[in-house]
Structure 1
Amino acid sequence: MTTVTDLYPTRGSAEVVTERSDPVVWPGREVEAAAGPWTAADLATYERDGFLTVDRLITSGEAGTFRAEVERLIHDPALRTDERTVTEPGSDEVRSVFEVHRISDVFARLVRDGRLVDRARRLLGSEVYVHQSRVNVKPGYRGSGFYWHSDFETWHAEDGLPRMRAVSVSIALTGNDVTNGSLMIMPGSHRTFLGCAGATPPDNYKTSLRMQEAGTPSDRALARLVDEHGIRLLTGPAGSATWFDCNCMHGSGSNITPLPRSNVFIVFNSVENAAVEPFAAPARRPEFIAARDFTPVRSSAVTTPRL
């Protein structure tokens, strides 16, 4: 068995800060030579802040198609009893549905869309595969938030991603505004890694997908990060999207407005960064959360038709 060096220790007895040793925008001759969707200014912004918004990644008509598919999924009786459907703490309201690109032809076409795949390839400097896909649903009045965390901390500790060579895209299917629980990111927080304190419990995913506790920063660490980086609230209409580095510190508040909020969330990982065994967990998470199929996604010009 090949031994992989742990560059980013976490889940020990105390919090540990490690400087990032990986690029933010990865070099790659093939993808750099190809005509890409990012400008030099876009890449500079992403490198500096760790995230970048695209006002109209998909059309409003396409967003409507995806919203309808989300409604179908969350009301599918078979899926309601499937482990891929996660409900809110304390209720049977759907919070997330995972592996949507495997269970829905509509979302399968989306993850192959060149508008997504080509951007991911350029940022990661290689071919990419889908590490995770899900839809996040925050219904009006009672949609709960997602506490502050770095996705990479979890994917490294519990899924075995060795390097910071993954990128997420969150596509708004409804309006994301200042009141309905939009995404918050600390710009520049991707440049240091916060290793969290405390061991990973067995089968942690069964509770963490509903409310994360293991792998979250202390109050003291959060206060320091906010003092250093500040907080950016990311809003936009249906069809807008935010691309963000796997190590960005981010979270979102609850939605107590009547205005529902839903997003589709896709994680692209480099095929050169395939998952190994977890670095700080007793066992791998299931494949519907953390893929073990590292087949590259081939981009397609075909997009989802409007309803």
Structure 2
Amino acid sequence: MAMTARPTADRYPTRLPHAVDPVPRAEPVVWPGGPRGPIAPADLRSYDRKGHLAVRGWLREAEVASLRDEVARLTDDPALRSDPRVVREKRSGAVRSIFQVHRLSPPVAELLGDPRVLDRARQILGSEVYLHQSRVNCMPGFTGKGFYWHSDFETWHAEDGMPAPRAVSMSLALRDNFPFNGGLMLIPGSHRTFVPCVGETPAGHYRESLREQQIGVPGEAEIRSLATDHGIDQFTGPAGSALWFDANILHGSADNITPFPRSNLFVVFNSVENTLTEPFAAPARRPEHVAERDFTPLRRTDQRNDRG
């Protein structure tokens, strides 16, 4: 499938030499015209308003245990020790993230086509979808480092060439997410405001940003203003719970200094009508293990099985 043509004007300029005013979102959050899905109308309205939706106890214990075993296998695999898809903490060297995990783990690949997952993504985005990114984020006890406030779309727009925030992420808890072990915080309603960031994107920036992001983060004044207006929510729940959140919502997490590790599987779905162009504010594309450029629509697992 071909890339989306580059828009003649950039609606969401960012990585600028000086601060500019935030930009109101121009596109819908829940897109019309999509297939029917499992999200109830009231929950869909809540997602539209807040920019996120949590489902507690969503996967069965055996399903979560299988995925958790897969993460342990990948983390301990000596063949992946120097693989660029494995990102390590700057100080401890512990595994921070594993990217393109759907290509490394058959159970994760199978999950992408599960109707419980895929039909929700289609319902929110109003179209067929493809996988923009998959990764596991690990936050070990005592030493796990957090992620500063950011909008994923700001990065995907600037460094990957995603034209509009017509993408949705699912974070699946593989271990219990407590309020005290670095659970994800979100500013509800911030998904309707794009916050341009200051600072030019250095070449190869993704290598450092995946460990500690310093370019592509909003200013403190904008964070304070949005948090004051909307408050802060947090995703918590037992293993097997899932959080769906809009590409443009501001979110982040604190360090984990507790003895309780946290790990989450992230999968990002992008509309096939919103495929990547060239980066809007970076000298080169990020590699495909960070931003997929295979725009083939995902198919439900049962449909794949029907075709043999």
Give the match for residue 209 of structure 2: 208
Q: 1: distance between equivalents of 2:81 and 2:242?
A: 27
Aligned-residue offset at 1:217: 1.2
In structure 2, the CA distance between the partners of 1:171 and 1:3, relative to structure 1 (3 Å rule), is closer
SS in 2 for 1:89: coil
Q: Which amino acid aligns with 1:254?
A: D
Give the match for residue 280 of structure 1: 281
After TM superposition, the structure 1 = structure 2 runs for residues 1-307 of structure 1, keeping only pairs within 5 Å, are: 2-4=5-7, 5-16=9-20, 17-29=22-34, 31=35, 34=36, 36-301=37-302
Q: 2: distance between equivalents of 1:3 and 1:160?
A: 8
Q: 1: distance between equivalents of 2:236 and 2:45?
A: 21
Retained in 2: the 8 A contact 1:57–1:115? no
The two structures, once aligned, show a CA RMSD in angstroms of 1.2
Give CA-to-partner distance per residue, 1:124-143, whole Å, 9 cap, x none.
Answer: 00000000000000011101
Q: 2: distance between equivalents of 1:300 and 1:145?
A: 34
SS in 1 for 2:257: coil
Question: What runs of 5+ residues in structure 1 fail to find an aligned partner?
Answer: 303-307
SS in 1 for 2:53: strand
Retained in 2: the 8 A contact 1:87–1:94? yes
TM-score (norm 2): 0.95
Retained in 1: the 8 A contact 2:144–2:255? yes
Retained in 2: the 8 A contact 1:167–1:243? yes
Retained in 2: the 8 A contact 1:63–1:173? yes
Q: Which amino acid aligns with 1:99?
A: Q
Aligned-residue offset at 1:192: 0.6
Aligned-residue offset at 1:301: 4.4
Retained in 2: the 8 A contact 1:15–1:194? no
Q: 2: distance between equivalents of 1:13 and 1:128?
A: 34
Retained in 1: the 8 A contact 2:161–2:278? yes
TM-score (norm 1): 0.95
Q: 1: distance between equivalents of 2:28 and 2:226?
A: 21
In structure 2, the CA distance between the partners of 1:252 and 1:301, relative to structure 1 (3 Å rule), is farther
Q: 1: distance between equivalents of 2:81 and 2:69?
A: 17
Q: 2: distance between equivalents of 1:76 and 1:69?
A: 10
SS in 2 for 1:199: coil
Q: 1: distance between equivalents of 2:121 and 2:221?
A: 34
Aligned-residue offset at 1:194: 0.2
Q: 1: distance between equivalents of 2:187 and 2:5?
A: 35
Retained in 1: the 8 A contact 2:6–2:163? no
Q: 2: distance between equivalents of 1:2 and 1:262?
A: 37
Retained in 2: the 8 A contact 1:158–1:285? yes
Q: 1: distance between equivalents of 2:224 and 2:39?
A: 33
Retained in 1: the 8 A contact 2:6–2:277? no
